[in-house]
Structure formats: C-alpha cells, structure tokens
Amino acid sequence: MSTAQEVKSVRVQILGEEHIVRGQASEEYIKALAASVNERMVEVQKSNPLLPRYRVAILVALNLLNELEKLRAEHEELLALMEEAK
C-alpha cells in the first residue's frame, strides 16, 4: 500500500488556451491556481495589450516570484522574532 497521492490530470483555461495540468493536489485546488494565474495574466495583458503571451507569462512569473520572496523574508523575520521571544 502506497502513501503517495494519486496524480490527477486537470483541464484548465489560461488566456483562452486549454492546458492539462498534472498534480497530486485536488482538482478544485488546481483549478483555483489556474484561475488565479489567468486573472493575473489577463490583468497584465490589459495593461500591455501589445505584449505577446510569452512575455505576459514572464511578467506574471516575475511578479509571483517577487511576492514569494517577500513572504519568505517576512516568514524568516517572524521566525527570528519567535526565537528571540523564547
């Protein structure tokens, strides 16, 4: 008996294109992630209508990574504060 989760294939729409995403998360979670990516890509595309899709995707990826790095730094600060409080 394996403890690994089953890999699912989920069809999603991003900027009007269908993509099949494979993952171990629930179908609802994968669809929610894809919807969030789609929202961000639509927002960037509206602001920059002449950009090709791949450049829109690169900008969205950079924005997401920036958010992730800020959250990591914040997390590290919180962990340090908790260590000091011990």
Tens of pLDDT, residues 33-55: 999 999 999 999 999 999 999 99
Q: What is the pTM of this model?
A: 0.82
Domain coverage including residue 42: 8-85
1 assigned to some structural domain: no
| pLDDT over threshold 60, residue 3 | no
17 assigned to some structural domain: yes
Total structural domains within the chain: 1
| pLDDT over threshold 50, residue 2 | no
2 assigned to some structural domain: no
Q: Which pLDDT score is estimated for 4?
A: 63
End-to-end, the C-alpha distance of the chain in Å comes to 42
| pLDDT over threshold 60, residue 84 | yes
3 assigned to some structural domain: no
> Mean pLDDT for the chain?
94
78 compared with 5, residue with greater pLDDT: 78
The span from the CA of 45 to the CA of 56, in Å, is 6
57 assigned to some structural domain: yes
